[in-house]
Amino acid sequence: MIRTERLTARIDGDFVVFLIGMRINKPWKVHQWWPVVQAMPRMLKELAARPEAGMLGGEMWLGRTTLMLQYWRSMEQLMAYAKDRQAAHLPAWKAFNQAVGTNGDVGIWHETYAVGPGAYENIYVNMPAFGLGKAGDLLPATGHRRSAEERLRSDGPRAERPS
């Protein structure tokens, strides 16, 4: 559903932004990159069934270089999932290292960011719930949330809340 009003998203407290993806360096080596492509949907299905693991939501873009944007409740929960011997991540990581390793056929990458109140801002206009707006709470971007500067201030540690 397209939301035509100006909206901003908020998550209470600290959270983690996790970017992860792969790059197909040798497209003709389908046997190398196809297992990597198949691994993420298994993990996402597992995480959707286990909300206590801490993943709040995400978005995915596909192409030669893929990008998965994820929001997590805490760094501890993200790291616990990555190390969980009963979860889908470790077998996929082991399989990648055995089949591909550092041979250059398929690239993988991730970036992890710890975020706290007052350290992020966003705006959504004419958009369905997306990104942080899907993982957190969507609020009207009016009043003390009208501009980027005001949004940063209003959710920061020294925020002055209107009465």
Domain boundaries, the chain: 7-11+118-154, 15-115
Helix axis angle, 75-83 to 89-99, nearest 10°: 60
Q: Which pLDDT score is estimated for 32?
A: 95
Q: What pLDDT tens digit does each residue of the chain (163 aa) get?
A: 999 999 999 999 999 999 999 999 999 999 999 999 999 999 999 999 999 999 999 999 999 999 999 999 999 999 999 999 999 999 999 999 999 999 999 999 999 999 999 999 999 999 999 999 999 999 999 998 999 999 988 765 444 444 3
Q: Which pLDDT score is estimated for 134?
A: 94
Give me the phi and psi of 154, to 5 degrees please.
-70, -25
**pTM of the full structure:** 0.89
- The H-assigned helical ranges of the chain are 30-49, 75-83, 89-99, 132-135, 148-154
Q: Which pLDDT score is estimated for 154?
A: 74
Separation CA 21–CA 109 (nearest Å)? 5
The residue written with tokens 């407290």 in the block is 13
Q: How far is CA 25 from the centre of its chain?
A: 23
Asked if 36 contacts 106 with a C-beta cutoff of 8 angstroms, the reply is: yes
Separation CA 53–CA 85 (nearest Å)? 14
The third-level CATH classification (topology) of the domain covering 15-115 is: Alpha-Beta Plaits (3.30.70)
Separation CA 55–CA 137 (nearest Å)? 15
Asked if 75 contacts 114 with a C-beta cutoff of 8 angstroms, the reply is: yes
